Structure 1
Amino acid sequence: MIIDIHGHYTTTPPGHQAFRDAQLVRLDDPSRPAPPPAAISDDAIRESVQNNQLKLLRERGGDLMLFSPKASGMEHHVPDAATARDWARASNDLVHRVVGLFPRHFAGVCQLPQTPGGGLDDVVAELHRCVETLGFVGCNLNPDPSGGHWTSPPLTHPYWFPLYEAMTELDVPAMVHVSTSCNPSFHTLGAHYLNADTSVFMQFVEGDLFDRFPALRFVIPHGGGAVPYHWGRYRGLAMRMGRPDPAEHLADNVFFDTCVYHQPGIDLLHRVVGADNILFASEMLGAVRGVDPATGIAWDDTKQYLDRAGLTDAERHHVFEANARRVYPRLDARLTAEGR
Structure 2
Amino acid sequence: MIIDCHGHYTTAPPQLQAFRDAQLARLADPSLPPAALAAIGDDELRDSVENHQLKVLRQRGADLMLFSPKASGMSHHVAGPATARAWAAASNDLVHRVTELFPAHFAGVCQLPQTPGGALDGAVAELRRCVSELGFVGCNLNPDPSGGYWTAPPLTDPYWFPLFEAMTELDVPAMIHVSTSCNPSAHTLGAHYLNADTSVFMQLLQGDLFTRFPGLRLVIPHGGGAVPYHWGRYRGLAMRMGRPDPAELLRENVFFDTCVYHQAGIDLLHRVIGASNVLFASEMLGAVRGADPETGVAWDDTRVYVERLGLSAEQRHRVYEANARRVYPRLHARLLTEGR
TM over 0.5: yes
Deviation at 1:131, TM superposition (A): 0.1
Q: Partner of 2:144 in structure 1? A: 144
Q: Partner of 2:189 in structure 1? A: 189
TM-score (structure 1 length as normaliser): 0.99
Alignment of 1:1-340 (within 5 A): 1-340=1-340
Q: Which amino acid aligns with 1:72?
A: S
Determine if contact 2:221/2:258 at 8 Å carries over to the other structure.
yes
Identity of counterpart residues, as a percentage?
A: 79
Name the stretch that deviates more: 239-248 or 138-147. 239-248
Query: How far apart are the structure 1 equivalents of 2:300 and 2:250?
Result: 27
SS of equivalent to 1:122: helix
TM-score (structure 2 length as normaliser): 0.99
Deviation at 1:198, TM superposition (A): 0.1
User: What do you get for the CA RMSD once the two structures are aligned?
Assistant: 0.5
Deviation at 1:141, TM superposition (A): 0.1
Q: Deviation per CA, 1:6-54, whole angstroms, max 9, x where unpaired?
A: 0000000011100000000000111112111221110000000000000
Query: How far apart are the structure 2 equivalents of 1:43 and 1:300?
Result: 27
Determine if contact 2:266/2:305 at 8 Å carries over to the other structure.
yes
Q: Which amino acid aligns with 2:137?
A: V
Query: How far apart are the structure 1 equivalents of 2:244 and 2:7?
Result: 33
Deviation at 1:310, TM superposition (A): 1.3
Unaligned stretches of 5+ residues in structure 1: none
Deviation at 1:248, TM superposition (A): 2.0
Query: How far apart are the structure 1 equivalents of 2:319 and 2:43?
Result: 34
Deviation at 1:283, TM superposition (A): 0.1
SS of equivalent to 1:38: coil
Query: How far apart are the structure 2 equivalents of 1:291 and 1:64?
Result: 23
SS of equivalent to 2:175: strand
Deviation at 1:168, TM superposition (A): 0.2
Determine if contact 2:6/2:282 at 8 Å carries over to the other structure.
yes
SS of equivalent to 2:38: coil
Q: Which amino acid aligns with 1:185?
A: S
Query: How far apart are the structure 1 equivalents of 2:37 and 2:49?
Result: 19
Query: How far apart are the structure 2 equivalents of 1:227 and 1:310?
Result: 23
Q: Deviation per CA, 1:162-200, whole angstroms, max 9, x where unpaired?
A: 000000000000000000000000000000000000000
Deviation at 1:249, TM superposition (A): 3.7
Name the stretch that deviates more: 44-53 or 34-43. 34-43
SS of equivalent to 2:229: coil
Determine if contact 2:98/2:106 at 8 Å carries over to the other structure.
yes
SS of equivalent to 1:140: strand
Deviation at 1:160, TM superposition (A): 0.1
Determine if contact 2:68/2:92 at 8 Å carries over to the other structure.
yes
Q: 1:53 to 1:249 in 2, by over 3 A?
A: closer
Q: Which amino acid aligns with 2:19?
A: F
Deviation at 1:318, TM superposition (A): 0.1
SS of equivalent to 2:72: coil
Q: Which amino acid aligns with 1:286?
A: G
Q: Deviation per CA, 1:111-154, whole angstroms, max 9, x where unpaired?
A: 00000000000000000000000000000000000000000000
Q: Deviation per CA, 1:182-227, whole angstroms, max 9, x where unpaired?
A: 0000000000000000000000111000000000000000000000
Determine if contact 2:250/2:277 at 8 Å carries over to the other structure.
no
Q: Which amino acid aligns with 1:230?
A: H
SS of equivalent to 1:230: helix
SS of equivalent to 1:99: helix
SS of equivalent to 1:267: helix
Deviation at 1:250, TM superposition (A): 3.6
Query: How far apart are the structure 2 equivalents of 1:71 and 1:197?
Result: 14
Q: Tell me which stretches of 4 or more aligned residues in structure 1 moved more than 6 Å.
A: none
SS of equivalent to 1:107: strand
Unaligned stretches of 5+ residues in structure 2: none
Q: Which amino acid aligns with 2:91?
A: S
